[in-house]
Amino acid sequence: MPKVIVNGQEIELKAGEKLNGIQAAQRAGVDIPHYCWHAGLTVVASCRMCLVETGTRNAETGAITMVPKLVPACQTPATDNTIFITNSEKVQQARAMVEEDLLIDHPIDCPICDKAGECLLQDYHFEHGQDERRADIRPFTSRRREMGDTVTLFIDRCVMCTRCVRFTREISGSSELMVINRGSHEEIDVFPGYPLDNKLSGNVVDLCPVGALGDKDFLYQQRVWFMKKHPGICTGCSTGCSITVEENQDTVYRLKPRTNPHVNQWWMCDEGRYGYHYVHSDKRLTGAGKLEDSDYKNVEWSHIITDLDERLRKVRGLGVVLSPHLTVEEAYLLATYARSVDPNAMIVLGHVPVVGVDETFKNGFTIRAEKCPNRRGIEAIVLHYMPKVLTVDDLLAEIAAGRINAAWVTGGYKEPWIDESTAVQFEALDTLIVQDIFSSPLWERATYQLPGAVFAEREGSYVNYADRLQNAVWAVRPPAGVRVEASVYWQLLGRPGMYKARRVLTELAGEIPYFAAAAGAVSDVGVDLKVNLLAAKSEVVSAAVS
Amino acid sequence: MSTAEHVLTDEMIAEIKSYFPRYPTRQAVTLPALHIVNERLREVPLQAVVEIAELLGLAPAEVQDTLSFYGFFKQGAPHGEVRAWVCRSISCALRGGEEVLEHMCHVAGIEPGETTADGKLTLEFAECLGACDFAPCMLAGKTLHKDLTKETGEQFVKQVRGSR
Amino acid sequence: MAKFEPVLLANVDNPDSHTLKVYEASGGYKAMKRALTEMTPVAVIDLVKSSNLRGRGGAGFPTGLKWSFLPKDHPGPIYMCINADESEPGTFNNRILMEEDPHQVIEGIIIGCFATRAQTAYIYLRYEYPLSYDRLQGAIDECYKAGYLGKNILGKEFSLDIYLHRGAAAYICGEETGLIESLEGKRAWPRIKPPFPAVEGVFRKPTVVNNIETMACVTQILARGADWFKSIGIPADPKNPRDPGSYGPKLYCLSGHVNKPGCYEAPLGITCRQLIDEFGGGVWKGRKAKAAIPGGISMGLLSEAELDTPLDFAGPGRVGCLGLGTAAVVVLDETVSMVDFLHNSCRFFAHESCGQCTPCREGTEWSLRMLDRIKAGKGRLRDLDLLLEIGDTIGIIPGTTICGLSDGAAWPIKNAIRKFRGEFEEYIKRTNPTGYMVTDAVDALPILAAH
DSSP-assigned states of every residue in A457-519: G--EEEE-TTSEEEEE---SPPPTT---HHHHHHHHTT-SS---HHHHHHHHHHH-GGGGGGS
With CB atoms and an 8 Å threshold, state whether C361 touches A183: yes
Residue B136 vs residues B131, B152, C340, C342: alpha-carbon distances, Å: 8, 11, 17, 19
Q: What's the pLDDT score for residue B71?
A: 87
Query: B139 CB near a chain C CB, below 8 Å?
Result: yes
Using one digit for the tens of pLDDT, what is the confidence trace for B96-122?
A: 999 999 999 999 999 999 999 999 999
Q: What's the pLDDT score for residue A537?
A: 63
Among the CATH numbers 1.10.8.190, 1.10.760.10, 2.40.10.220, 1.20.1440.230, which is that of C338-431?
Answer: 1.20.1440.230
Phi, psi (deg, nearest 5) at residue A217: -65, -35
With CB atoms and an 8 Å threshold, state whether C355 touches A184: yes
Q: What are the sequence ranges of the domains in chain C?
A: 20-231, 246-333, 338-431
- Residue C76: which pLDDT band, with cuts at 50, 70 and 90? confident
Which positions ≥6 away from B117 have C-beta within 8 Å?
B109
**A357 exposure class (CB count in 10 Å sphere: 0-12, 13-18, 19+):** exposed
- If asked whether residues A146 and A74 sit together in one domain, one would say no
Report, as an integer, the average pLDDT of C397-403: 97
Closest CB from C187, C399, C443 relative to A70: C399
Q: What's the pLDDT score for residue A293?
A: 86
What is the DSSP pairing of strand A228-233 with strand A242-248?
antiparallel
CA distance A269 to chain C (A): 29
Give domain status of residue B2, yes or no: no
Query: Are the C-beta atoms of residues A59 and A80 closer than 8 Å to each other?
Result: yes
Residue A54 vs residues A64, A69, C194: alpha-carbon distances, Å: 10, 8, 15
- If asked whether residues A144 and A163 sit together in one domain, one would say yes
What distance in Å separates the CA atoms of residue C345 and residue A156, rounded to the nearest whole number? 26
- If asked whether residues B86 and B63 sit together in one domain, one would say no
Burial B81-98 (b: 16+ CB within 10 A, else e): bbbbbbbbbbbbbbbebb
Q: What's the pLDDT score for residue A53?
A: 98
Phi, psi (deg, nearest 5) at residue C75: -65, -15
Is residue C19 predicted with pLDDT exceeding 90? yes
- If asked whether residues A450 and A506 sit together in one domain, one would say yes
- If asked whether residues B92 and B140 sit together in one domain, one would say yes
DSSP states of C156-170 as a string? SS--BEEEEEE--S-
Task: Give the dihedral of Cα atoms B142, B148, B151, B156; nearest 10 deg.
Answer: 10
What distance in Å separates the CA atoms of residue A495 and residue A507, rounded to the nearest whole number? 13
Helix count and strand count (H, E) for chain C: 17, 11
CB contacts, 8 Å: B56 with chain C: 185
Using one digit for the tens of pLDDT, what is the confidence trace for C133-180?
A: 999 999 999 999 999 999 999 999 999 999 999 999 999 999 999 999
Angle at which helices C358-373 and C405-419 cross, to 10°: 40
Name the nearest CA neighbour of C345 among C205, C151, C215, C171: C171
Query: Are the C-beta atoms of residues A517 and A468 closer than 8 Å to each other?
Result: no
What distance in Å separates the CA atoms of residue B80 and residue A213, rounded to the nearest whole number? 38
Residue A412 vs residues A110, A156, A439, C272: alpha-carbon distances, Å: 40, 43, 10, 84
Give domain status of residue B115, yes or no: yes
What distance in Å separates the CA atoms of residue C247 and residue C219, rounded to the nearest whole number? 15
- If asked whether residues A265 and A299 sit together in one domain, one would say no
Q: Which of C87, C358, C406, C448 to mutate to test the interface with A (most CBs of A within 10 A)?
A: C358
- If asked whether residues A255 and A301 sit together in one domain, one would say no
Q: What's the pLDDT score for residue A533?
A: 62
Q: Name the helix (H) or strand (E) containing A324.
A: none
With CB atoms and an 8 Å threshold, state whether C166 touches B32: yes
**What is the three-class DSSP state of A65?**
strand
- If asked whether residues A401 and A317 sit together in one domain, one would say yes
List chains touching A (3+ CB pairs under 8 A): B, C
Q: Does domain C20-231 have CATH number 2.40.50.100?
A: no
Query: Are the C-beta atoms of residues A157 and A211 closer than 8 Å to each other?
Result: yes
Q: What's the pLDDT score for residue C242?
A: 87
- Give me the helices (H) in A31-83, please: none
DSSP states of C219-246 as a string? HHHHHH-HHHHHTSEEPPPTT-TT---E
Closest CB from B1, B46, B65 relative to A178: B65
Using one digit for the tens of pLDDT, what is the confidence trace for C270-322?
A: 999 999 999 999 999 999 999 999 999 999 999 999 999 999 999 999 999 99
Q: What's the pLDDT score for residue A294?
A: 85
Q: What's the pLDDT score for residue A536?
A: 57
- Residue B25: which pLDDT band, with cuts at 50, 70 and 90? very high
Query: Which residue pairs, CB below 8 angstroms and at least 24 apart, start in A118-122?
Result: A118/A224, A119/A209, A119/A210, A119/A211, A120/A33, A120/A35, A120/A209, A120/A210, A121/A159, A121/A209, A121/A210
Residue ranges in chain A whose pLDDT is less than 50: 544-546
Number of domains into which chain B is organized:
2
**Which residue type occupies A465?**
Y
- Residue B5: which pLDDT band, with cuts at 50, 70 and 90? confident
Q: Where are the beta strands (DSSP E) in chain B?
A: 82-87, 121-126, 138-140, 143-145
The whole domain housing A49 covers 3-87
B151: domain CATH number is: 3.40.30.10
CA distance C380 to chain B (A): 25
- If asked whether residues A83 and A147 sit together in one domain, one would say no
- If asked whether residues B89 and B153 sit together in one domain, one would say yes
Which positions ≥6 away from A327 have C-beta within 8 Å?
A374, A377, A458, A459, A460, A461, A462, A472, A486, A501
Name the nearest CA neighbour of B157 among B120, B113, B112: B120
What distance in Å separates the CA atoms of residue C109 and residue A409, rounded to the nearest whole number? 80
- Residue A542 CA from chain centroid, whole number: 39
Closest CB from C351, C356, C363 relative to A101: C363
Which positions ≥6 away from A34 have C-beta within 8 Å?
A22, A47, A49, A50, A73, A74
Of A246, A280, A314, the domain-final residue: A280
Give domain status of residue B122, yes or no: yes
Phi, psi (deg, nearest 5) at residue A90: -60, -45
Give domain status of residue A300, yes or no: yes
CB contacts, 8 Å: C352 with chain B: 127
- If asked whether residues A226 and A371 sit together in one domain, one would say no
- If asked whether residues A67 and A167 sit together in one domain, one would say no
Give domain status of residue B28, yes or no: yes
Reduced to 3 DSSP states, what percent helix, strand and coil does chain C have, rounded to the nearest 5?
Answer: 45, 15, 40
Q: What's the pLDDT score for residue B4?
A: 59
With CB atoms and an 8 Å threshold, state whether B94 touches C257: yes
Using one digit for the tens of pLDDT, what is the confidence trace for A68-115?
A: 999 999 999 999 999 999 999 999 999 999 999 999 999 989 999 999
- If asked whether residues B55 and B104 sit together in one domain, one would say no
- If asked whether residues A305 and A198 sit together in one domain, one would say no
Q: What is the DSSP letter of C121?
A: E
Q: What's the pLDDT score for residue A11?
A: 95
Give domain status of residue A338, yes or no: yes
Q: Does domain C246-333 have CATH number 1.25.50.10?
A: no
Which positions ≥6 away from A490 have C-beta within 8 Å?
A333, A498, A499
What distance in Å separates the CA atoms of residue C370 and residue C63, rounded to the nearest whole number? 40
- If asked whether residues A489 and A528 sit together in one domain, one would say yes
With CB atoms and an 8 Å threshold, state whether A101 touches C370: no
What distance in Å separates the CA atoms of residue C215 and residue C110, rounded to the nearest whole number? 9
**Which residue type occupies A285?**
L
- If asked whether residues B41 and B66 sit together in one domain, one would say yes
Give domain status of residue B22, yes or no: yes
DSSP states of C148-214 as a string? SSBSSGGGSS--BEEEEEE--S-GGGGSHHHHHHHHTTS---PPPSSSPTTTS-GGGS-EEEEEHHH
Residue A490's CB is within 10 A of a number of other CB atoms, namely 21
Taking all residues of chain C, what is their mean pLDDT, rounded to a whole number?
96
Give domain status of residue A131, yes or no: no
What distance in Å separates the CA atoms of residue A351 and residue A372, rounded to the nearest whole number? 10
Q: What's the pLDDT score for residue B1?
A: 47
CB contacts, 8 Å: C187 with chain A: 179, 182
Q: What is the DSSP letter of A14?
A: P
**Which residue type occupies C172?**
I
Which positions ≥6 away from C277 have C-beta within 8 Å?
none
Is residue C445 predicted with pLDDT exceeding 60? yes
Q: Name the helix (H) or strand (E) containing A545.
A: helix A530-545
DSSP states of A121-183 as a string? HHHHHHHHS-SS--SPB------EEE-SSSEEEEGGG-----HHHHHHHHTS----EEEESSG
- Residue C451: which pLDDT band, with cuts at 50, 70 and 90? very low
Report the share of chain C in percent with pLDDT over 90. 96
Query: B61 CB near a chain A CB, below 8 Å?
Result: yes
Residue B9's CB is within 10 A of a number of other CB atoms, namely 12
Q: What's the pLDDT score for residue C450?
A: 42
Residue A302's CB is within 10 A of a number of other CB atoms, namely 10
- If asked whether residues A210 and A235 sit together in one domain, one would say yes
Name the nearest CA neighbour of C246 among C264, C265, C231, C233: C233
Query: C168 CB near a chain B CB, below 8 Å?
Result: yes
What is the DSSP pairing of strand B143-145 with strand B138-140?
antiparallel
Burial C165-199 (b: 16+ CB within 10 A, else e): bbbbbbbbbbbbbbbbbbbbbbbbbbbbbeeebbb
Query: A97 CB near a chain C CB, below 8 Å?
Result: yes
Query: Are the C-beta atoms of residues C397 and A69 closer than 8 Å to each other?
Result: yes
- If asked whether residues B52 and B99 sit together in one domain, one would say no
What distance in Å separates the CA atoms of residue A2 and residue C286, rounded to the nearest whole number? 69
- Give me the helices (H) in B71-149, please: 90-94, 97-108
Which positions ≥6 away from B9 have C-beta within 8 Å?
B40
The whole domain housing B150 covers 82-161
Which positions ≥6 away from C16 have C-beta within 8 Å?
C22
Query: Are the C-beta atoms of residues B57 and B28 closer than 8 Å to each other?
Result: no
